[in-house]
Amino acid sequence: MSSVERGKVMFYTEPNFEGIYVIYKEGFSKAKYSEEEFLDDSFSSIRIGQGIKLYIWETLDDDSLFHILHEGEYPNILENIKKISKFQILDSLTNFAIDVRFFDLITNEYHNNYLMTFKLLDIEELEIKSGDNDFKLLKSKENSNEIACAIYIKRFDNLYEPISNLIFHWNKKKGKIISITDATNFSENLSITQNDKTSFTFTLKTDGIGFSQFYLNKTKNNSKQINIK
């Protein structure tokens, strides 16, 4: 397509690609959690470049309609999509992605004291500094409905400590993560909060050299299922 660059999406405020437009590139994700937060949810037409696809959620509740748009021109998206409360721009070989961020509650600075790393087989690892309010995308493999990852945390002046192995299970029809499997007894020192259908905030609650001391004591099994509402 000559009108939009490869790997980018153009959103227009008016039908037929008129009005004001903004451009986002592959790997970008945005959600509107309150009326005070800005999100361009009044767009009326979209151009999607080569090599990517656009995931759209009309609302952030459990009954939200979910849409997948592929490369092409959409002169009037309001015919099928009432509003945009969240979107992700993924490369065409990624089946789904989750949005993750990381906070720590340990120091007054509240950020940049710790580094969380998600390691995945055959996929580039993802590193997140604590305190960054923006989400980053953790991607699945092509045609996979699971993201299996090992999680490590370190202070910047220390070595990495293994925290857990998690598997996020995706339901494409519903456009949501339906469950998380914890394969190694998730650390009690770390909490997970679900922000919407595919977004999660990890929070480190207390410090400790050797995070493995803080493995969850709620179960004696080697694995457990966390149901996501």
For 148-161, what is each residue's pLDDT tens digit?
A: 999 999 887 777 78
For residues 160 and 108, the model is more confident at 160
pLDDT tens-digit readout, 171-203:
999 999 999 998 776 777 888 999 999 999 999
> What tokens were used for 173?
């029809």
In angstroms, the Cα distances linking 6 to 49, 112, 135 are 5, 34, 23
What is the Cβ-side half-sphere exposure of residue 179, based on CA atoms within 13 angstroms? 7
Q: Which domains does the chain have, with CATH numbers?
A: 8-91 (2.60.20.10), 97-227 (2.60.40.1720)
- Tell me which of 38 and 86 has the higher pLDDT: 86
For residue 135, what pLDDT is reported? Answer: 93
Residue 11 tokens, joined: 């959103």
